[in-house]
C-alpha cells in the first residue's frame, strides 16, 4: 500500500464522518417549527420551553449548536434523553449488546449459508442446485423483514411453540430473530459469491492446474476458493447497513430490547437526543467497516491498487 492511497482514504473517511455527524445533528432542525416545542409537546409551558432552549443551546446559531453537540459527543456526552431523563450514553450502552448479538449472529448465519450455496451453485453450474439457489435468493430479497419475522413468530412461536415469541430470555429467544434476519441476508451473499467463483474458475491458472491433472477437489479447495473469498470482505461491509437496518425492524417484531427498538420508540416519542446519538453511532460503525474492508482488501490482495 502506498502512502498516497492511505492518506487519500483516511482523508475521505474523515470527511464522511464530519458529514455524517452534520446530518445526524440536522435531523432535529429538519422539521418546520421550533425544535424545543416539537420535543416537549404542545402542552409545555412557555417557561419550560425557554429553560429547555437555554439548556440545549437552541437560542444560539446553528454552527454554534453543532459545535457544542459534537464537542460533547467526542467527550462521550450525548446529552440527556427527554423521555427517560437519563444520559443518552447510559441508555445506549445497555441496549448495544443485544443489538450486537443479534446482528453478528445473523451476519454469521448469512455469510455461511450464502457462501456455501454460492460456491456449490458455481461448481454445479446449471444443475437444479444452481437454479434453486438463484430462485430462493430472489424470494428472500422480495420478502420484507418485518413480515418474515411475523411469519416466524406465528408458525414457530405461536403455533408450534418451539421458540419464545419475544423478549430476551436465553439462547432460545435468539433463534427466531436471527433466522428472520439472517436467512434474508443470505441471498445477498449467495449470488455474488456464485459469480465470483465462476469467474475464478475461468481463470488461466485454474485451467492450467486442470491441464496438469490436479484433482478437481484440490483445485477448488486449494486454488479457487482462496481467491473467491477475497471479495467477501467487501460484500460484508456493503451489506452491513442493510443488516443493521433489518435488525431495527426485527427487534420491534420480537420485542428485542436493543438499540433498534430504542430508536423506533425514540423517533415515535420525538426523543431527539437519543435519535441523533444512535444515527451517529450506526453510521460511524458503517464508515469504519468500509474503511477496514478497503484496507484489508488491499492487504490480502496485492494485485489491487485502489485508486481514488
Q: What residues make contact with other proteins under the rule CB under 8 A?
A: 12, 15-16, 19-20, 23, 27-28, 30-31, 38, 126, 138-139, 141-147, 150-151, 153-154, 158, 195, 198-199, 241-242, 244-246, 248-249, 252-253, 263-264, 267-268, 270, 275, 278-279, 282-283, 286-287, 290
Cβ 275 to other proteins, closest distance in Å?
5
Cβ 48 to other proteins, closest distance in Å?
21
In the complex with other proteins, the residue whose CB is nearer, 111 or 122, is 122
Cβ 302 to other proteins, closest distance in Å?
26
Cβ 303 to other proteins, closest distance in Å?
21
In the complex with other proteins, the residue whose CB is nearer, 58 or 248, is 248
Burial 208-236 (b: 16+ CB within 10 A, else e): ebeeeeeeeeebbeebbeebbbbbbbebb
Residue 86 DSSP label: S
Q: What residues contact 137, with CB distance under 8 A and at least 6 apart?
A: 186, 187, 188, 190, 191
In the complex with other proteins, the residue whose CB is nearer, 173 or 266, is 266
In the complex with other proteins, the residue whose CB is nearer, 214 or 306, is 306
Cβ 213 to other proteins, closest distance in Å?
27
Q: Which three cell numbers stand for residue 169?
A: 430470555
Residues 105, 178 contacting (CB under 8 angstroms)? yes
In the complex with other proteins, the residue whose CB is nearer, 101 or 265, is 265
In three state form, how does the secondary structure of 108-150 look?
Answer: HHHHHHHHHHHHHHHHCCCCHHHHHHHHHHHHHHCCCHHHHHH
Amino acid at each position: 500500500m502506498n502512502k498516497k492511497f492511505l492518506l487519500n482514504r483516511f482523508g475521505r473517511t474523515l470527511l464522511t464522518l464530519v458529514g455524517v455527524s452534520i446530518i445526524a445533528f440536522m435531523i432535529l432542525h429538519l422539521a418546520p417549527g421550533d425544535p424545543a416545542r416539537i420535543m416537549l409537546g404542545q402542552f409545555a409551558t412557555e417557561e419550560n420551553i425557554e429553560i429547555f432552549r437555554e439548556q440545549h443551546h437552541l437560542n444560539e446559531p446553528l454552527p454554534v449548536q453543532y459545535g457544542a453537540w459534537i464537542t460533547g459527543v467526542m467527550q462521550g456526552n450525548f446529552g440527556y434523553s427527554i423521555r427517560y431523563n437519563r444520559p443518552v450514553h447510559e441508555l445506549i450502552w445497555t441496549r448495544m449488546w443485544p443489538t450486537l448479538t443479534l446482528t453478528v449472529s445473523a451476519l454469521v448465519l448469512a455469510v455461511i449459508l450464502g457462501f456455501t450455496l454460492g460456491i456449490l451453485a458455481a461448481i454445479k453450474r446449471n444443475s437444479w442446485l444452481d437454479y434453486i439457489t438463484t430462485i430462493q435468493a430472489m424470494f428472500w430479497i422480495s420478502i420484507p423483514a418485518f413480515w418474515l419475522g411475523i411469519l416466524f413468530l406465528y408458525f414457530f412461536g405461536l403455533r408450534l411453540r418451539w421458540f419464545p415469541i419475544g423478549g430476551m430470555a436465553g439462547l432460545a429467544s435468539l433463534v427466531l430473530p436471527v433466522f428472520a434476519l439472517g436467512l434474508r441476508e443470505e441471498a445477498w451473499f449467495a449470488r455474488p459469491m456464485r459469480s465470483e467463483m465462476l469467474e475464478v474458475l475461468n481463470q488461466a491458472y485454474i485451467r492450467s492446474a486442470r491441464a496438469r491433472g490436479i484433482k478437481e477437489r484440490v483445485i477448488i479447495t486449494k486454488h479457487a476458493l482462496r481467491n473467491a473469498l477475497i471479495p467477501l470482505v467487501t460484500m460484508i461491509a456493503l451489506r452491513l447497513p442493510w443488516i443493521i437496518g433489518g435488525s431495527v425492524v426485527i427487534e420491534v417484531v420480537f420485542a428485542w430490547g436493543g438499540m433498534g427498538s430504542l430508536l423506533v420508540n425514540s423517533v415515535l416519542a420525538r426523543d431527539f437526543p437519543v435519535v441523533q446519538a444512535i444515527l451517529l453511532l450506526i453510521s460511524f460503525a458503517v464508515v469504519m467497516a468500509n474503511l477496514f474492508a478497503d484496507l484489508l482488501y488491499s492487504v490480502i490482495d496485492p494485485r489491487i491498487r485502489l485508486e481514488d
